[in-house]
């Protein structure tokens, strides 16, 4: 059978996997938004069944045969050398997915899916009741399952490698350690510098912000970002997320607090950045091994760019503070665009990661990364996790949670088995600054934002990031778009320039 027919067979198989994966996402999205509490037991069974079906197809003998017919092997994971580059990149992704799937026993895949569903529900209960003991047995079992998974998948030097690879393909723990070891003292140094300056006034953020009007603002800003509501929607959940329920069905969620302006707007812009990436993947790639993001870090670069580098810029408030004051005449009254800009960028160590400023955010991620390594190594037991969390929070941020809901229970990730996910947030910050630097070479980004013209920014991202789907790994895409490897200097330069403008520490 010739290569063209085999590629067609491969795309048929991956299309089925894609459809099942989207069906699985429907179940997850519903569970986090509208599912009634008593539906949890059967939902976990449904999730387990869909996961088994996905795994069966991903590890099938037919998948093995078609990849073999296309020349894929351990020595040639990207297939026959006579194939065009695009096809070989598709095969590289497909072969990697197959190799991972065929290693994992169906029983473990099913058990992970079923436990994840139940675990998330009990995490939410534990967080709402501020009682870690309610979540502890579910997390203990999850860590045991993930250790089994990492041992089966295999790794080079640390079992964390196997889990990190699920979110950031071909990335190793040693690389993350190297980046974080370089970044931590620079972030701490900048934080100390800012701490010696006069603090900005953020009282405007804690006035009464009507939630109905916050929703109006969220929809308005998403439209300005050019999020397509004919192929997406926004709802509310305990923890904001983006889910792809289909190639033309991208769901966002956010949350609101009537006494904290940042939560609604920036949760929306963050998830909106994710949603735009998903909407921007070309139709011809959908359903194939290339019809997804390059990596989770690249995905996070998009959300962090829209949330912070655009949404928290002075140029953004130049363009949109008038609209904010129109929607919220009372809480925004008497304040200027510059005062609002400074307020949303106040740097102060805080307990909650998703509410953290851009300087301390990376320290939140380093805290979680260290704990994940310790959990997998066995040097910290789940029962001791709250105390270990609090100690690291004191060391890195100088503050200690007064309750577990504001500490070890604040994130949803561990409940669904997302160990290895957190480093992608900080890598995303680094990528976003480097991408922004390259974008500025092609268009005047500040001028576009201050004029309320966000489409040129989106078009640049579509051409350089979204439109390439999973053709490249994260590092490869970075080199292609910026001409160099990932370089944390761009992010630190961005932070120093921005916060010097706010705090005047170099004057």
- Which residues have a catalytic role annotated? 271
Q: How far apart are the C-alpha atoms of 371 and 409, rounded to whole Å?
A: 13
Query: What is the Cα–Cα distance from 115 to 125, expressed in whole angstroms?
Result: 15
User: Residue 490: exposed, middle, or buried by beta-carbon count in 10 A (0-12, 13-18, 19+)?
Assistant: buried
The Cα 375–Cα 94 span in angstroms is: 31
Own/partner pairs, 93-100, CB within 8 angstroms, 24+ separation? 93/289, 93/290, 93/470, 94/10, 94/14, 94/67, 94/289, 95/67, 96/169, 97/58, 97/289, 98/58, 98/59, 98/63, 98/64, 98/67, 100/153, 100/166
CA distance 50 to 244: 16
Distance CA 299, CA 169 (A): 13
Q: How far apart are CA 333 and CA 317, in angstroms?
A: 14
DSSP per-residue codes, 294-326: S-HHHHHHHHHIIIIIITTSHHHHHHHHHHHHH
CB 257 within 8 A of CB 264: yes
Distance of CA 279 to the CA centre of its chain: 16
Q: Are 121 and 40 in contact (CB under 8 A)?
A: yes
């Amino acid at each position: 059978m010739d290569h063209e027919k085999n590629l067609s067979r491969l795309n048929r198989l991956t299309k089925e996997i894609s459809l099942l994966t989207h069906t699985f996402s429907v179940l997850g999205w519903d569970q986090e938004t509208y599912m009634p509490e008593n539906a949890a037991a059967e939902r976990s069974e449904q999730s387990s069944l869909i996961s088994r079906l996905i795994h069966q197809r991903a590890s099938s003998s037919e998948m093995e045969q078609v990849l073999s017919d296309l020349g894929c092997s351990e020595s040639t994971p990207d297939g026959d050398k006579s194939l065009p580059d695009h096809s070989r990149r598709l095969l590289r992704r497909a072969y990697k997915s197959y190799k991972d799937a065929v290693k994992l026993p169906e029983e473990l895949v099913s058990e992970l899916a079923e436990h994840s569903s139940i675990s998330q529900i009990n995490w939410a209960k534990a967080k709402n009741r501020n009682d870690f003991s309610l979540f502890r047995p579910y997390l203990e079992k999850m860590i045991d399952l993930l250790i089994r998974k990492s041992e089966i998948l295999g790794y080079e030097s640390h079992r964390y490698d196997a889990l990190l690879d699920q979110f950031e393909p071909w990335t190793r723990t040693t690389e993350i350690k190297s980046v974080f070891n370089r970044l931590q003292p620079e972030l701490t140094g900048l934080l100390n510098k800012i701490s010696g300056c006069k603090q900005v006034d953020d009282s405007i953020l804690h006035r009464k912000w009507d939630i109905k009007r916050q929703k109006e603002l969220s929809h308005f800003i998403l439209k300005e970002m050019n999020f397509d509501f004919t192929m997406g929607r926004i709802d509310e959940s305990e923890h904001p997320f983006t889910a792809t329920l289909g190639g033309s069905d991208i769901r966002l969620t956010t949350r609101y607090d009537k006494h904290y302006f940042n939560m609604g707007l920036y949760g929306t812009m963050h998830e909106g950045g994710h949603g735009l990436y998903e909407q921007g993947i070309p139709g011809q790639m959908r359903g194939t091994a290339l019809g997804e993001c390059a990596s989770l870090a690249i995905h996070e670069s998009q959300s962090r760019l829209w949330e912070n580098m655009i949404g928290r810029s002075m140029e953004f408030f130049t363009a949109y503070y008038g609209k904010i004051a129109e929607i919220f005449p009372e809480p925004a009254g008497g304040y200027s665009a510059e005062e609002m800009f400074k307020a949303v960028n106040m740097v102060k160590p805080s307990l909650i990661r998703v509410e953290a400023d851009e300087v301390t955010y990376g320290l939140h991620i380093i805290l979680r990364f260290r704990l994940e390594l310790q959990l997998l190594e066995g040097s910290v037991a789940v029962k001791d996790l709250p105390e270990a969390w609090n100690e690291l929070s004191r060391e890195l941020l100088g503050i200690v949670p007064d309750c577990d809901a504001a500490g070890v229970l604040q994130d949803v990730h561990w409940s669904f088995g997302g160990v290895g996910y957190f480093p992608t947030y900080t890598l995303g910050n680094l990528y976003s600054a480097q991408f922004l630097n390259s974008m500025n070479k092609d268009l005047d980004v500040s001028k576009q934002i201050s004029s309320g013209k966000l489409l040129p920014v989106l078009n640049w991202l579509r051409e350089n990031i979204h439109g390439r789907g999973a053709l490249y790994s994260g590092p490869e895409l970075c080199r292609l778009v910026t001409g160099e490897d990932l370089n944390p200097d761009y992010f630190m330069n961005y932070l120093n320039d921005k916060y010097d403008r706010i705090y005047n520490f170099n004057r």
